[in-house]
Chain A
Amino acid sequence: MLTIIRAIIIVLLTVQIGLMAALILYIIRAKRAERRSKELEARWQPLLYEYLEDEVDIKTMEIELAENYNSMWNFFRPYLDNLIGSDREKIEKLLQEIGFIAHFRQQLNSENRSKRIRAAFVLGKVRDSVSLPQLEEMLQSDSTYEIIIAGQAITDIGATELVFEIMAAFLQRTNITFEGISQIIINYGEEICPPLITILTDWLAGRVDLEEKFQVPAYQSAALFVELLGHSRYQEALPVFEKILQQRENEELLIQVLKALSRLKEPVQIDLKPFLTHENRVIRNQTLKYLYKCCQPGYEEQIVGLLADENWWVSFYAAMLLYHNGRQNILTEIAGSAEQGAAMSSYILEAGGQFEHF
């Protein structure tokens, strides 16, 4: 017994000494790396400015940067995050010429997942279109995070032709939320809107089966496209939105369209009364919000009727809409009467229509 315990002590002592040595070594190395990184930054920064001013050529830069790719990435990342236009293009050209991009392309094939993820992220930042086939392949990975980073890199590069492939991978093979997908897809900028309108038009005309394409209920992917169009405030989407409102097939989709319309702030050419009287309170709410943002004549009677809605929020939004569209007199009249909606009218009038988050 004693011998076993003694052996355990020896093992533990060895482990402890090993851990302490590792800790000391790591701290010394980390300090040294930090110091070196600061030195490099101090040296590289003026040089980079000279390069951007065409005072230094790529060859000189190459000699100075000397294949120090990890430090280079730390140094260039803030510039790649923040610069646009010709300066950014010059940096991308520089990174191309000095072998930085080739290095990370190679890392994209690494056996090590962490290296692949990092490489995909870097290549997205430098908008390297050559690595698109590998990034596309990464969308088939069994790792959620690898799929997400690959999708993000493709959107950074701006390959709009792969947008539906990215969405299919996200929807079928990850648990990412719709907000997360939107956040990544929106990287494309406005260029993504035409393909989204095309697919929605084809879906509405029965030429595309969204459910088959994305393996989720059709309304979910359609709602995602609508949200992205709304986020981009893409005016050309208006006819598609009107068509969806006319078809009135899915309530979730209707809600997304009404939200997108609130962002567009453009009047629609269809009758909104069915939505103001819709049995779903969220639809009634969103229609009121849209009308608040983009006031249109002809709905006053319905809005006044909604003051007495069974749902508190609908009645609240109806009162707020009237208050902020110069119809305070209606609220004053109802507040002083015994009509339903009197309490809400008084409530809004007393608060002067000032509520947070409206």
Chain B
Amino acid sequence: MNIFRTIIYISIIYFLLVNLTYIALNLVAFLALKKEKIKFEVTDLQKTFQSEFYKPLSIIVPAYNEEKTITESIQAMLSLTYPEFEIVVVNDGSKDDTLKRLREKFNLVPSNRTNKADLTTAKIRGVYDSLDYPNLVVVDKENGGKADSLNAGINYAHFPLVCNIDADSLIESDALLRLVEPFVEDKRVVAAGGSIRIANDCVVEEGKVTRVKLPGSWLARLQIVEYLRAFLFGRVGWAALEGLMIISGAFGIFRKSHLIAAGGYSRDTIGEDMELVLKLNRKLKEQGRDYRTVFLPDPVCWTQVPETIKTLGRQRRRWQQGLGQSLMMNKELLFNRDYGVVGLLAYPFFFFGEFIGPVIEFFGYISLFIVLFFGWASLELVLTFLTVSILLRIVLSTLSILFEQLTFRKYENLRDNGKLLLTAFLEGFGYQQLHMIWRLQGLYDFLKGKNIWGEQQRKEF
């Protein structure tokens, strides 16, 4: 009895701490979003676009078996609004016709471009320029994974800022201008991340999302609610507290010099995006540098998410495993006040809340069943507790949907928002528990050192 009671108490304390953090993050995020909204209003993007003082940018696009979407994605990227940029596509030894499609579409010829940084990568098979687009370069290399491809892209990039974008993503036309703005406004900024939104079932014309629609698939809708929570209060909140620990691998900008100094993306983890931000935080703090990593909710990158349980499950397992690897590779941050908010708050939150969270949640559920079975607690008490837990999640999700409305209003009509609310309500009944199981599997994979590589079946936009 005692042991189960202890587990339940631990679960309750854990539950309270995690949710209090979420509530605090919401408050901070609300204030930050208000500030961001006024900034959004008074930014003169037209002038910025015409400016010669803007920092040129290298966009690195790793591509592995992306034959279905690659040409359309690159075409869309080439029409982005930005004064001076180049696109470095890295074909990571694709087994399909990714390179062939690129060659045919963009008229590729061998390039004279040389490796400018010394990040170690798999063997480079060839570098190509496009005869039609002078700002497009394709690096063809042997397969080495996403981090390896990003490092290869950094090696061949010309410009001081590098932006990593997934090949299957669509960037809103002025998103780059907005995301580079912090690098101009504040010399301390070393990295900036933007929001990821879900493009499933959206209307896409010439590589641009022209009409935002809610996907028909419930699984995709559930992910919309998750993404809104993660980006609109998770990342906005942590960034406002100077504790940002992750910039999405699908859309982020970095100062190249810092990336190279940090040794580039780590090839030993499948969570290379998080590991990089942690490593940057660690190294820059150790050097005693005054620096900032920022997150902007508005520059948006649209991406497709899995629509089958199997693919989503594999993705979440990978994410959990990547989270564990990134945290372990930077474990000196834990409760280390030398690393500021990252060490004292963000890292412990990710460690206890996100990484080992599913274990506590799992034992919490088991204990509830046991105490019920033996009659140590009444059914009413257990059900009321579960109700609180589900209600809290619904409130947090509703807050994110409200934040979205108060700020950038991608989902405009009442009907879509109604559907999102319903999705938020249903999340607690089955999906949340399924998610916990995937995360547990990811944790198991991490402990076993088993690498689960995921390939998502892409649909053409």
Contacts and interface: CB of A to CB of B under 8 A. Distances in A.
A183 B55 CA distance: 11
Contacts of B53: 179-180, 182-183, 186, 231
A264 interface: no
B395 A15 contact: yes
A12 B392 contact: yes
A6 to B, nearest CB: 6
B46 A81 contact: yes
Interface string B50-66: 01111100000000000
B186 interface: yes
A175 B187 contact: yes
Nearest to A1: B381
A118 B184 contact: no
B134 interface: yes
B412 to A, nearest CB: 8
A27 B381 contact: no
Interface residues of B, number: 51
Interface SS of chain B: helix
Contact of A30 (B399, B409, B421): B409
Interface string A138-182: 000000110011001000000000000000000000111101101
Nearest to B292: A175
**A26, A144, A187, A356 interface centre (most CB from chain B within 10 Å):** A356
A118 B38 contact: yes
B184 A180 contact: yes
B95 interface: no
B130 to A, nearest CB: 11
Interface string A1-43: 1100110110011011001101110111011000000000000
A207 interface: no
A175 B413 contact: no
A121 interface: yes
B167 to A, nearest CB: 22
A176 B188 CA distance: 9
**A2, A9, A16, A31 interface centre (most CB from chain B within 10 Å):** A16
Contacts of A5: 381, 384-385, 388
Contacts of A15: 395
A180 B42 contact: no
Given A9-B391, A19-B395, A183-B53, A176 B185 contact: yes
A180 B402 contact: no
Contact of B402 (A8, A26, A177): A26
Interface string A268-295: 0000000000000000000000000000
Contacts of A6: 384
B384 A351 contact: no
B388 A30 contact: no
B159 to A, nearest CB: 9
Contacts of A27: 405, 412-414, 417
Interface residues of A, number: 46
Contact of B398 (A2, A19, A175, A182): A19
Nearest to A227: B53
Contacts of A186: 51, 53
A351 B388 contact: no
**A1, A30, A31, A180 interface centre (most CB from chain B within 10 Å):** A180
Contacts of B27: none
A117 interface: yes
Nearest to B112: A351
B107 to A, nearest CB: 15
Given A148-B185, A180-B53, A357-B158, A30 B405 contact: yes
A154 to B, nearest CB: 15
B387 interface: yes
A16 B112 contact: no
Contacts of B402: 19, 22-23, 26
A114 interface: yes
B184 A9 contact: no
B388 A8 contact: yes
Interface in A65-98: 81
A180 B185 contact: yes
Nearest to A148: B185
B104 interface: no
B421 A177 contact: no
B446 interface: no
B405 A2 contact: no
A2 B380 contact: yes
B294 interface: no
B395 A12 contact: yes
A177 B186 contact: yes
A152 to B, nearest CB: 8
A13 B395 CA distance: 8
**A12, A149, A174, A355 interface centre (most CB from chain B within 10 Å):** A12
Interface of B: 34-35, 38-39, 41-42, 44, 46-48, 51-55, 86, 112-113, 129, 134-135, 158, 183-188, 378, 380-381, 384-385, 387-388, 391-392, 394-395, 398-399, 401-402, 405-406, 409, 412-414, 417, 421
Which 9 A-B residue pairs are closest in the complex by CB-CB distance? Answer: A121-B42, A179-B53, A180-B184, A12-B391, A183-B53, A114-B38, A175-B186, A19-B398, A5-B384
9 contacts: A5-B384, A19-B399, A22-B402, A26-B402, A117-B42, A176-B186, A179-B54, A356-B86, A356-B135
Given A16-B394, A26-B406, A176-B186, 14 more contacts: A2-B380, A5-B388, A12-B388, A12-B392, A23-B402, A23-B405, A30-B409, A175-B185, A177-B183, A177-B185, A186-B53, A231-B52, A347-B112, A351-B112
Interface of A: 1-2, 5-6, 8-9, 12-13, 15-16, 19-20, 22-24, 26-28, 30-31, 81, 114, 117-118, 121, 144-145, 148-149, 152, 174-177, 179-180, 182-183, 186-187, 231, 347, 351, 355-357
